[in-house]
Amino acid sequence: MRKLLLIPMLAAVLVGSGFSKGADEQAKLQAKYEKKIAKDFVSYGNWMLDYDAARAKAKAEGKLLFTYFTRSYAP
């Protein structure tokens, strides 16, 4: 019985705590992301930011992927 009550309570907490972000927040996150990828280490490191393109290139060259996923600035 407790498990059944926990799910609606968890959903209410997530929705009530601002789980969905507004357009303003998305714009702020997009600006942070663009600022981060404009840094020198991204261009010097020859990083690919498009996951699907990186997968296709790795497959064509017979190489493995080194991936790094983050949500700190994800729009």
Q: Is residue 11 a part of any domain in this protein?
A: no
Q: Is residue 37 a part of any domain in this protein?
A: yes
The DSSP secondary-structure symbol of 72 reads T
pLDDT at 64 over 90: yes
* Alpha-carbon gap, residue 70 to 19, rounded angstroms: 18
pTM of the predicted structure, to 2 decimals? 0.46
The residue assigned the tokens 């997968």 is: 55
Q: Is residue 8 a part of any domain in this protein?
A: no
- Once rounded to an integer, what is the mean pLDDT over residues 15-36? 76
Biggest alpha carbon–alpha carbon distance for the chain: 56
Q: How many domains does the chain have?
A: 1
Q: Is residue 12 a part of any domain in this protein?
A: no
pLDDT at 56 over 80: yes
Q: Is residue 10 a part of any domain in this protein?
A: no
* Alpha-carbon gap, residue 60 to 51, rounded angstroms: 14
By residue range, what is the domain housing residue 35?
Answer: 21-75
Q: Is residue 4 a part of any domain in this protein?
A: no
